[in-house]
Amino acid sequence: MNKTIGEARAYAVKLRKFYESEKPGLRVFIIPPFTALQIVCNVLKESSIRVGAQNMHWEEKGSFTGEISPLMLKDCGVEIVELGHSERRAEFGETDLTVNRKVLAALRYGIRPLICVGETVLEKESDVTGECVARQIKIALWNVSAGEMEKIIIAYEPIWAVGENGTPAKPEYANAVQQLIRTVVQKLYGKVAAKRLPILYGGNVDRKNASDFIRQPNIDGLFVGRAAWNVRSFIELIQSVEETV
């Protein structure tokens, strides 16, 4: 819940100007709140910056008060939808099964699902991170075809690393879990699909540690939270990553 419509528009305008003037090689997306989706999509139309939504219902219409449908997102111009974020799971009852229903709905309507997975601090300390993350992935991808895997993005976000009081994972730890994610996908869909799958790391990423994460072989990109709330800070983070890669 950050940024009014005016603030989101100003952010998008500045980010587009940066991309058009500096032409960085990194592919970038931003995920504003629902109220700002249409205006941000309009500002970034025909640019290289993609726009995503923070959540979505699995039905295209109906009596689901307070929800947003795939058709509504498509109507705004959205290309990506974030599904299964830890805050959605913890605060709003999201489950692995509802994430799967949303993944399948997004694919039906031509929206790229960005599936968030990650373990709690208790699961980490109990040494069940692998089982936890594997379960989330397997259920989220249930009935997703091999061809549809080309549209999937996975973001590994350890829950203990997310938020104001979170601690970022050590790059080597994140890399190991993301290797596990790739192994799970390989068993389900084969080596080619696993290699092509974009796996992002999120969890207190900032300009200081972004380069350390992106150097890891199994981290294909970054899913940035509060460090991207200020457009200037986000641009500086993009520049630091581009210098690394």
Side chain identity, residue 234: F
Q: Give me the catalytic one of 57, 82, 85, 148.
A: 85
3-state secondary structure at position 115: strand
Q: Which helix (H) or strand (E) holds 237?
A: helix 231-244
Q: Give me the catalytic one of 94, 123, 148, 157.
A: 157
3-state secondary structure at position 153: strand
CA distance 39 to 182: 36
Residue 240 contacts residue 211 (beta carbons within 8 Å)? yes
DSSP, residue by residue, 32-92 = --GGGHHHHHHHHTTSS-EEEES---SSSSSS-TT---HHHHHHHT--EEEE--HHHHHHH
Catalytic annotation present for 57 = no
Catalytic annotation present for 7 = no
Q: Which residues belong to the active site? A: 85, 157
